């Protein structure tokens, strides 16, 4: 985890109201020089100040569009701020209000482990292996993927990217000898490939903590999709049993979950998709509908409040599904960042080195090119398509 120096004591003494007033004043003062981006998992009082909100995909697109602003203050986690730095021009400075806002999933794939895995897989098979990394990964891992002919993906477009990576391969026979190494979230990889029709036995889990990744050469050769053993500590809290429980409590609830959840949860859910997909689906649902949602608590509570008079929205289960690193971005860190910028200093600058940036940009640009610029197009592909599943 990166280091964040304690804030000057004045910031911890201020009331919420004072901080809000001062943030609003700093925003007005910085004007068009500043853009604040906020991920859907941010706290309500932070999201209130975001100029744009979105899921990881939408925020990457928004970052790429920032040509005029001088500063992008990223209310999200470290890998998102790195992506923004990679996608913006050199004159745009990207700031993360608290440097300890990392992502445990991204930390599960260190670049050295990925390089070792690549060599190990290469020794076991002559097949073409296409690396695909979820954007929830370090810039170094994105750079590796870009430098080895692969692409990034988000939970909004994993299917389109996997279809590109596995072009010529078919789950029902006929193979062009291609494989995918999917990093670092085994669940997004498994759920997406399964939704495309790949059976579970066409997948194998590569565990970077095991000698040889815990796989024999034969297992590597047999698998079409090699899944990295990584997960989201928030979404792994949801279980298939919780889905059963909510259905027995009230069968009229529809269950919608994020594809970072375990395969067994996604199979039992009615729908699965990115945070943006979850929001759009609940927005479009009929009055009176009831939703049990398997994703981070801040987003679910915000949706519940927004629709309280017309729809029922609740967490899938009464568990602590809080992303503690997203939570580190709070009003005081946001205000401190804006104060520093207004005083001519750039705090917590996120700056990816030029060589890594160039390679990571290839992987991010490939994703953006594959899915086009239409959010609706990516939305359509964001649902984990259970119609293609083989039970």
- Exactly one of 81, 145, 203, 234 binds ligand SF4 (CB under 6 A); that residue is 234
348 binds ligand 13P (CB under 6 A): no
Choose the contact partner of 325 out of ligand SF4, ligand 13P, none; CB within 5 to 8 A by kind. Answer: ligand SF4
- Of 125-154, binders to ligand SF4 (CB under 6 A) are 136
Q: Which residues contact 364 (CB under 8 A, 6 or more apart)?
A: 60, 83, 86, 87, 135, 142, 146, 152
Interface with ligand SF4, residue 339, by CB under 6 A: no
Q: Where are the beta strands (DSSP E) in the chain?
A: 34-39, 52-54, 71-75, 93-95, 128-134, 151-153, 178-183, 203-206, 225-228, 253-257, 271-272, 290-294, 312-315
Interface positions, 24-63, toward ligand SF4 (CB under 6 A): 41
Please state, in angstroms and as integers, the Cα–Cα distance from residue 105 to each residue in 237, 323, 376, following that order: 14, 11, 27
Q: Compute the least distance from the CB of residue 129 to ligand 13P, in Å.
A: 24
| Cα 371 to Cα 324: distance, rounded to the nearest angstrom | 31
- By CB under 6 A, the count of residues binding ligand SF4 is 13
Of 275, 281, 325, 348, the one binding ligand 13P (CB under 6 A) is 275
Chosen residue from 65, 125, 233, 289 binding ligand SF4 by CB under 6 A = 233
- The C-alpha atoms of residue 165 and residue 192 are separated, in whole angstroms, by 13
Using the rule CB under 6 A, is 384 a contact of ligand 13P? no
**Can residue 185 be called a binding residue for ligand 13P (CB under 6 A)?**
no
Region of 10-18, 150-158, 221-229, 338-346 interacting with ligand 13P (CB under 6 A): 150-158
d(CA 317, CA 253): 13
Q: How many residues bind ligand 13P (CB under 6 A)?
A: 11
Instruction: Point out which residues bind ligand 13P (CB under 6 A).
Output: 55-57, 136, 154-156, 232, 260, 274-275
Instruction: Point out which residues bind ligand SF4 (CB under 6 A).
Output: 41, 77, 103-105, 136, 232-234, 296, 323, 325-326
């Amino acid at each position: 985890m990166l280091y964040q120096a304690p804030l000057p004591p004045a910031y911890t003494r201020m009331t919420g109201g004072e901080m809000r007033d001062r943030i609003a004043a700093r925003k007005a003062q910085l004007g068009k020089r500043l853009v604040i981006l906020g991920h859907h998992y941010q706290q309500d009082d932070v999201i209130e100040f975001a100029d744009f909100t979105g899921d990881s995909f939408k925020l990457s697109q928004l970052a790429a569009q920032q040509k005029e602003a001088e500063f992008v203050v990223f209310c999200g986690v470290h890998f998102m701020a790195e992506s923004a730095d990679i996608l913006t021009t050199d004159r745009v400075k990207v700031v993360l209000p608290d440097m300890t806002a990392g992502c445990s999933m991204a930390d599960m794939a260190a670049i050295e482990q990925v390089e070792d895995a690549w060599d190990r897989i290469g020794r076991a098979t002559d097949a073409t292996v296409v690396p695909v990394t979820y954007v929830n990964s370090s810039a170094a891992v994105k750079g590796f993927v870009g430098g080895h002919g692969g692409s990034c993906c988000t939970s909004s477009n994993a299917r389109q990217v996997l279809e590109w990576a596995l072009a010529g391969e078919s789950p029902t026979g006929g193979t062009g000898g291609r494989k995918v190494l999917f990093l670092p979230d085994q669940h997004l990889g498994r759920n997406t490939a399964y939704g495309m029709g790949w059976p579970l036995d066409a997948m194998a889990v590569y565990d970077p903590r095991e000698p040889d990744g815990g796989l024999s050469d034969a297992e590597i050769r047999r698998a079409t999709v090699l899944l990295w053993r990584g997960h989201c500590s928030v979404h792994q809290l949801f279980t298939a049993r919780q889905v059963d429980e909510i259905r027995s409590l009230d069968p009229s609830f529809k269950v919608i979950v994020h594809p970072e959840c375990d395969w067994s949860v996604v199979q039992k859910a009615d729908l699965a998709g990115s945070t943006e997909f979850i929001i759009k689906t609940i927005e479009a649902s009929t009055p009176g509908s009831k939703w049990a949602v398997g994703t981070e608590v801040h987003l679910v509570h915000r949706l519940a409040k927004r629709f309280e008079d017309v729809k029922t929205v609740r967490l899938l289960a009464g568990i602590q599904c809080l992303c503690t690193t997203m939570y580190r971005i709070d009003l005081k860190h946001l205000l401190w960042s804006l104060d520093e910028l207004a005083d001519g200093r750039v705090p917590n600058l996120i700056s990816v080195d030029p060589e890594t940036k160039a390679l990571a940009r290839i992987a991010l640009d490939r994703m953006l090119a594959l899915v086009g610029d239409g959010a609706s197009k990516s939305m359509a592909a964001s649902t984990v398509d259970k119609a293609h599943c083989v039970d």
